[in-house]
């Protein structure tokens, strides 16, 4: 979803017993009871599932990532023109998918025998949200249909698919997730331009209905291919999680940094097309900026994920991601009035900004090496970014300045949004600097603060 964070969850979903069983099943000396199972990491069944998951990810997650095009278009319509909170539609669609992580993963594991039923229910419900949205004439109706209905259906069918991929791909899981990671970026390179063309020619009701039909036809035939390696009753029950990591300073350092990143990260994708058109550029160029950002995002996530695997210190990667993205916001975006400058911003921001979430798997294990605790920490980080995502809509609406004042950076229509975005990213980077402090010194500071507070 920007979905690296969801895919990384799969690394923490198995208990140690599950991993041991998978190792045995993947070896050449399998016990007789596992001979009927398809092999891990190779074979037609594994690749069939992975390619089907790739299509679902590219199309059904790529659509909400392209909402900036819809926002730019909605803002030109009489019924939505004077409403500065249109962005809530997009942030709701993507934000719920993040927030649901701590809830959906345990449910999928506990009720694994119903995974296929979840897919068959969530998939049409997700598409139905677009059809219902085509009849919306108010912002509230759009939020409920294109935002809430779409995202609820998405999380119901998408998490079971990820669990199935986790069963098939074990030794080569990095390769499999890398391929899935590129799916939303690949679709994000083309979908904004296609949607922009449809919106200009046919309007949003026809565009939403045509998109729903296309998603139905392109993904429907692939539903029978979504089968896990293990029987639905063969996935182990969840193991009790030790929540000791909540008391560790490192967890709170990354939680604050991650929340600050999530609070500011989504604004460029939401407002870049509108920013471009407000500077006299065509709507097509605004959509092209999202395309460039999506392409850069693919390379950024793959690079940061690869480097986080023990090749570069985690703190350096996360600080670099937030800091470079903040600099790009303040300069290339905040001062830009030409397309080529905004194109540079889209490439730099897409590469470095998206790289942060690719380190989440490593952040979880750095906080706690125990698999279930690491996943719990990961899920809470996911939840924190989701909260920031949802808040981005109303905050953006409040910050958008329709009273233009030429010659003043903060007085421009998007000036306050730019300042807020850059500030959030700077806070994210500055918070991680605390990681360089000695753990004992940090604990001592926290104890002193507690004593001072108690004294007061």
- For residue 135, being part of any structural domain is answered with yes
- For residue 21, being part of any structural domain is answered with no
- For residue 31, being part of any structural domain is answered with no
**For residue 425, what pLDDT band results from cuts at 50, 70 and 90?**
very high
For 276-310, b/e burial (b = at least 16 CB within 10 A) is bbbbebebebbbbbbbbbbbbbbbbbbbbbebbee
**For residue 29, what pLDDT band results from cuts at 50, 70 and 90?**
very low
- For residue 325, being part of any structural domain is answered with yes
Q: What is the pTM of this model?
A: 0.68
pLDDT (0 to 100) of residue 295 = 86
For residue 285, pLDDT beyond 90 = no
Question: Which tens digits make up the pLDDT trace of 106-161?
Answer: 787 777 788 889 999 999 999 999 999 999 888 889 999 998 999 999 999 988 88
- For residue 35, being part of any structural domain is answered with no
| Residues 319/434, Cβ–Cβ less than 8 Å | no
In this structure, what CATH number is given to the domain that contains residue 132? 1.20.1250.20
Place of tokens 């939505």: 80
- For residue 34, being part of any structural domain is answered with no
Q: What mean pLDDT, rounded, does the chain reach?
A: 78
State phi, psi for 248 to the nearest 5 degrees.
-90, 135
- For residue 23, being part of any structural domain is answered with no
Q: Please report, rounded to a whole number, the percentage of residues in the chain having pLDDT higher than 90.
A: 21
- For residue 364, being part of any structural domain is answered with yes
Question: Which tens digits make up the pLDDT trace of 43-94?
Answer: 788 898 889 998 998 898 888 877 878 888 888 888 787 677 787 888 788 8
CA distance 47 to 159: 18
pLDDT (0 to 100) of residue 412 = 61
pLDDT (0 to 100) of residue 135 = 93
DSSP for 444-456, please give it: HHHHHHHHHHHH-
Q: Minimal CA–CA distance to 272: which of 289, 291, 294?
A: 289
Domain count, the chain: 1
The pLDDT of 163-192, averaged and rounded, is 72
Per the structure, the complete domain to which residue 182 belongs is given by: 4-15+41-455
**For residue 196, what pLDDT band results from cuts at 50, 70 and 90?**
confident
For residue 356, give both structure tokens.
């942060």
For residue 422, pLDDT beyond 60 = yes
Question: Which tens digits make up the pLDDT trace of 384-394?
Answer: 888 887 787 78
């Amino acid at each position: 979803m920007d979905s690296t964070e969801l895919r990384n969850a799969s690394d923490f979903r198995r208990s140690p017993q599950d991993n041991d069983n998978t190792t045995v099943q993947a070896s050449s000396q399998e016990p007789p009871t596992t001979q009927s199972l398809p092999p891990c990491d190779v074979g037609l069944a594994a690749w069939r599932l992975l390619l089907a998951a790739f299509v679902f990810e590219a199309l059904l997650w790529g659509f909400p990532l392209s909402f900036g095009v819809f926002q730019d278009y909605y803002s030109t319509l009489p019924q939505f023109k004077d409403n500065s909170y249109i962005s809530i539609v997009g942030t709701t669609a993507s934000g719920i998918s993040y927030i649901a992580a701590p809830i959906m993963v345990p449910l999928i594991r506990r009720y694994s025998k119903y995974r296929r039923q979840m897919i068959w229910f969530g998939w049409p419900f997700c598409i139905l949200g677009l059809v219902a949205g085509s009849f919306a004439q108010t912002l509230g109706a759009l939020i409920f249909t294109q935002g809430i209905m779409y995202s609820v259906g998405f999380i119901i069918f998408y998490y079971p698919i990820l669990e199935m991929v986790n069963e098939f791909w074990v030794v080569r899981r990095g390769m499999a997730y890398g391929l899935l990671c590129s799916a939303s970026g690949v679709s994000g390179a083309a979908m904004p331009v296609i949607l922009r063309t449809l919106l200009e020619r046919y309007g949003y009701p026809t565009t939403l209905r045509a998109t729903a039909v296309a998603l139905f036809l392109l993904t429907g035939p692939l539903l029978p291919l979504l089968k896990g390696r293990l029987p639905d009753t063969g996935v182990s029950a969840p193991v009790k999680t030790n929540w000791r990591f909540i008391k560790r300073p490192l967890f709170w350092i990354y939680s604050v940094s991650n929340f600050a990143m999530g609070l500011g990260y989504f604004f460029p994708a939401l407002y870049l097309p509108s920013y471009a058109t407000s500077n006299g550029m065509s709507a097509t160029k605004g959509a092209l900026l999202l395309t460039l950002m999506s392409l850069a995002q693919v390379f950024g996530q793959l690079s940061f994920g690869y480097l986080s695997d023990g090749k570069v210190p985690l703190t350096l990667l996360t600080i670099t991601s937030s800091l470079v993205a903040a600099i790009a916001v303040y300069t290339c975006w905040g001062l830009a009035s030409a397309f080529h400058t905004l194109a540079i911003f889209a490439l730099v921001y897409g590469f470095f900004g998206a790289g942060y979430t690719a380190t989440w798997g490593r952040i979880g294990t750095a906080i706690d090496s125990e698999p279930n605790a690491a996943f719990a920490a990961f899920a809470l980080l996911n939840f924190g970014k989701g909260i920031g995502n949802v808040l981005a809509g109303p905050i953006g609406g409040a910050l958008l300045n329709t009273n233009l004042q030429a010659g003043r950076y903060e007085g421009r229509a998007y000036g306050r949004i730019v300042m807020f975005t850059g500030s959030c990213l700077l806070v994210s980077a500055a918070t991680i600097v605390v990681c360089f402090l000695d753990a004992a010194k940090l604990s001592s500071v926290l104890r002193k603060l507690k004593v001072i507070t108690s004294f007061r």
